[in-house]
Structure 1
Amino acid sequence: MNYDLIVIGSGPGGYVAAIRASQLGLKTAIIEKESLGGICLNWGCIPTKALLKSAQVFEYINHAADYGIKVNGAGEVDFKAVVKRSRDVAEGMSKGVQFLMKKNKIDVIMGFGKLKGKGTVEVKDANGATKDYTAKHIIVATGGRSRELPNLKQDGKKIIGYRQAMVLPQQPKSMVVVGSGAIGIEFAYFYNSIGTKVTVVEFLPNVVPLEDEEVSKQLERSLKKQGINIMTNSTVESVDTAGDLCKINVKTAKGNEVLEAEIVLSAVGVTTNLEGIGLEEAGVKTDKGKVLVDDYYKTNVDGIYAIGDIVKGQALAHVASAEGITCVEKIAGLNPEPINYNNIPGCTYCSPEVASVGYTEKAAKEAGYEVKVGKFPFSASGKASAAGAKDGFVKVIFDAKYGEFLGAHLIGNNVTEMIAEVVTARKLETTGHEMIKSVHPHPTMSEAIMEAAAAAYGEVIHI
């Protein structure tokens, strides 16, 4: 069982790396302990979007009258059916990865993979039996899991992580979400939309704290308008789960407050899966829970590489996929360009959606740029008005001296589908004036990017 390449982990980093390796003529195997597709396909990106779509449909039904449509009776959420649809979508995607493995002649080895000696991976199957496989190159792509805080230990029932949040046996009447990054906000939006009373507790001054401050403030306003209680500058000190309801002790700027809820969702980020996979024994260097790698994901040990959540950079599916491709192309003797981590888009799929790439206004100024900033509100967009989705705006940031496109920050309906335009423009080193002169179709939401660029240079037409 000798291979050119073995990949440990079949998430969007691992399975994409395996496919690219096979395309480049490497005899490849992939090791997976649970389900092909990893967390993203089975317990992350994909099933959460299915849940969010159900919430969106429910909202459409409840607001049908706004569009001149009469619906007899109120919409009703069948929570078990919503969860089942989400699981069915995830299962379908996982089967799609199985098909891709067969199509690309990649051997799938089910079990827990562990580095063992030079060029060897030991795999323990579900029955506890072990078998060794060898390869010239080994990529570790073991991903991450829900991070636990010492004072917020998950019991899987009352204090839960994202996995349990996707498959609760029944819809809770109340929920406290700890953490307001993408995971926390998406679940807060979903549960609030279907009728759960939701409170979000965030340690930092703003929700979605990695986003541009104006976007964070707008999102907070929109979520509050939907009925979500948001507590920023607040910390969960302890949770008492003894009674029917959890008693959540929250420290705020004004003092301590006790919240009550059926469920506490801990959404305080992810931690890497580095334990028990033989890194120490192999001599692979790590630092603060991350494997140290070069620009092409090679570790300090010849023949061992690492990609995805376990290395530097944003813990995002599309980042892991790009890293896998870059790593494999380097192994195969090509000359790939290193990834520019300042041109990675980030998306949050609540309503309104949030999407961003590049520098925030604050970060651009701190980096020494003199900036031109343009904003265009969706309230001035014909397409947004027609769609009944006028919340939000597009904000773009350019370098005043050379016109370099430094960053873009979008909040509004469907903006996660719009951000790729900016990523491509920045990759091509497009300037502000080139964005203004790129004719955008009317009426579309994407016009707002052109209009925001025009606003930065005092040429905006529609505001």
Structure 2
Amino acid sequence: MPVRIAVLGAGPGGLFAAVRAARLNAKVTLVEADALGGTCLNRGCIPSKVMREAGALMADCRRFSKFGVRLPGPPEIDMPQLSARRQEVVSAQAKGVARILDKLGIRVVSGRGFIEGPCKLTVTQADGSKQTVQWDRLIIAAGACPRPLPGIPFDGERIISSTNALCLETVPKSLVIAGGGVVGCEFATIFSALGSRVTLVEAMDRLLPLPLIDETCSKTLLREFKKQKITCCLGRIVDSIQETDQGVDVTIRDSPFVQQRQPQPSTGASAEKLLVCIGRTPVLSGMGLENLGVEIDDQGWIKADSRMETSVKNVYAVGDVLGPDKLMLAYVASKEGMTAAENALGEDRQMSYEAVPNVVFTLPEVANVGLTRGQAADAGYAVETETVLFRSLGKPQVTGNITGQAQVVFDTGSEQILGVHIVGPKATDIIPEATLAVKSHATVRDLANTMHGHPTHAEIMEELAAKAIGRAVYG
């Protein structure tokens, strides 16, 4: 008899878990209350990048004249056409996912799953009918949803979430964004490029205040945001709002999360909409976890070990339900899903978070992997860094996108690459090479001796490593 595996949630974590389990000959049932692909495909990674591409194209149109390209007039955005393009891409991806599941014989049940107890769950479908699913192993991949500001719920009109932002039928003339993390910064880039007047409010004292992201990247991004006329209020929070006929009046005050050099008075900002991007909250309510005794932390996230197993034997959890301590990234969830599936079927795999790249699709892009200089020093390494500017390379000069730099963090004794931090053109496409270098404990000499095509943006990695060993040509 094949092992029966039930997967709750069809986002990246759940999909990869289901596919891997099916390939290992398990009998798999995949339960999804919404749409295949979860947040990533339907309300996150994919649709937001369609919008980001539109913003990037708009930005490019504004500099066409530098290349001798003349347009009949200033570029304009057709939001209905953009929405159609977004839906076209999402639908094509969703159909591809459905074909894979069908080919592998994975049973897909649409509806909300409720855990009745050990080895049994009930799925309530849209029409009210119910199905019972028996399982030997359970993988929970229910995901998370946008978190509102305290006391300021989403209304979908004036106070919107990232999900609402992807469905706007017109470009807001003005927009206040609460939260300068990955999502907030990406939307700031998108809507500014599309024509909105954007004010970004971040509670910490820098943009992208994440441990994975080096402060030099944050400083460069802040400088570029200012060039794009994005107003950035750092060390500040949205205190209250007042709805108006035109949108919202937002009161902004000093953040309690940073020590202010000199307290500033509250200020105001008026906008058509307030977009809240301050994090996510788990989608676990009403799932019946209490019927199994799955342990939850103080913030409501599921606890799981490095094998992705929860406090209950044969019950696993992957993806956003694990919270920010395990990195809430689609590609991390995918690896967690595969790890959970393999362990559920008798293997002994450990999920590694040692070399996780972080990619941010702002203009310019930001990408990081490994340790920052400070983290490396704290870990006891004899640390050195080198930096190369994109403007020193041929390809950025050709394209006209010369902003940014790449930095390598390495150990002076062993020459081992400990981290790479990039802000600039194609950063998100370059970072996989750096990720492999960090994961395989490669040295800067290894990288310097690796031939790169010319002219390419990826040459910055070779030049960076060459500079670290005293063989720089351009840097």
Per the normalisation by structure 1, the TM-score is 0.97
- 1:254, distance to aligned residue in structure 2 (A): 2.0
Residues of 1 paired with 2:247 and 2:126: CA distance? Answer: 37
> Which residue of 1 is the match for residue 258 of structure 2?
none
| Residue of 326, 329, 336 corresponding to 1:316 | 329
8 Å Cα contact 2:354/2:439 also seen in 1 = no
> Which residue of 2 is the match for residue 273 of structure 1?
283
Residue deviations 1:386-441 (CA, integer Å, cap 9, x gap) = 01110001111012232221111111111101101011122222112111111222
Matches within 5 A, 1:300-449: 300-311=311-322, 312-336=325-349, 338-449=350-461
Residues of 2 paired with 1:423 and 1:152: CA distance? Answer: 40
Residues of 1 paired with 2:381 and 2:180: CA distance? Answer: 29
- 1:262, distance to aligned residue in structure 2 (A): 0.4
Matches within 5 A, 1:119-198: 119-198=119-198
Residue deviations 1:175-218 (CA, integer Å, cap 9, x gap) = 00111111111111111001110010011110011121100000
> Which residue of 1 is the match for residue 306 of structure 2?
295
Question: Runs (4+) of structure 1 moved beyond 3 Å?
Answer: none
2:5 corresponds to 1:35: no
SS, match of residue 354 in structure 2: helix
- 1:456, distance to aligned residue in structure 2 (A): 2.7
> Which residue of 2 is the match for residue 450 of structure 1?
462
- 1:87, distance to aligned residue in structure 2 (A): 2.0
- 1:3, distance to aligned residue in structure 2 (A): 6.2
Matches within 5 A, 1:7-22: 7-22=7-22
**Residue type matched to 1:306 in 2?**
A
> Which residue of 2 is the match for residue 232 of structure 1?
234
8 Å Cα contact 1:342/1:357 also seen in 2 = no
Residues of 2 paired with 1:399 and 1:175: CA distance? Answer: 44
8 Å Cα contact 1:119/1:303 also seen in 2 = no
Residues of 1 paired with 2:151 and 2:472: CA distance? Answer: 51
Residues of 2 paired with 1:80 and 1:171: CA distance? Answer: 11
Residue deviations 1:291-344 (CA, integer Å, cap 9, x gap) = 1112111111122110011124100000000001111112223343x2321311
SS, match of residue 250 in structure 1: strand
8 Å Cα contact 1:291/1:299 also seen in 2 = yes
SS, match of residue 337 in structure 2: helix
SS, match of residue 149 in structure 2: coil
Residues of 2 paired with 1:384 and 1:242: CA distance? Answer: 45
- 1:63, distance to aligned residue in structure 2 (A): 1.5
- 1:71, distance to aligned residue in structure 2 (A): 1.5
| Residue-pair matches, total | 461
Residues of 2 paired with 1:225 and 1:31: CA distance? Answer: 46
8 Å Cα contact 2:252/2:266 also seen in 1 = yes
SS, match of residue 12 in structure 2: coil
Matches within 5 A, 1:31-110: 31-110=31-110
- 1:77, distance to aligned residue in structure 2 (A): 0.9
Q: What is the RMSD computed on CA atoms of the aligned residues?
A: 1.4
**Residue type matched to 1:330 in 2?**
N
Residues of 2 paired with 1:458 and 1:151: CA distance? Answer: 56
> Which residue of 2 is the match for residue 221 of structure 1?
223
Residues of 2 paired with 1:143 and 1:52: CA distance? Answer: 23
Residues of 1 paired with 2:105 and 2:361: CA distance? Answer: 35
| Residue of 251, 259, 270 corresponding to 1:260 | 270
SS, match of residue 48 in structure 1: helix
347-356 vs 427-436, which moves further: 427-436
- 1:223, distance to aligned residue in structure 2 (A): 1.2
SS, match of residue 222 in structure 2: helix
SS, match of residue 290 in structure 1: coil
8 Å Cα contact 2:3/2:345 also seen in 1 = no
> Which residue of 1 is the match for residue 245 of structure 2?
243
**Residue type matched to 2:320 in 1?**
D
Residues of 2 paired with 1:452 and 1:178: CA distance? Answer: 36
Per the normalisation by structure 2, the TM-score is 0.94
8 Å Cα contact 1:151/1:237 also seen in 2 = no
- 1:88, distance to aligned residue in structure 2 (A): 1.9
- 1:115, distance to aligned residue in structure 2 (A): 1.4
- 1:458, distance to aligned residue in structure 2 (A): 3.0
- 1:117, distance to aligned residue in structure 2 (A): 1.0
- 1:13, distance to aligned residue in structure 2 (A): 0.4
**Residue type matched to 1:339 in 2?**
M
Unpaired stretches in structure 2, ≥5 consecutive residues: 255-262
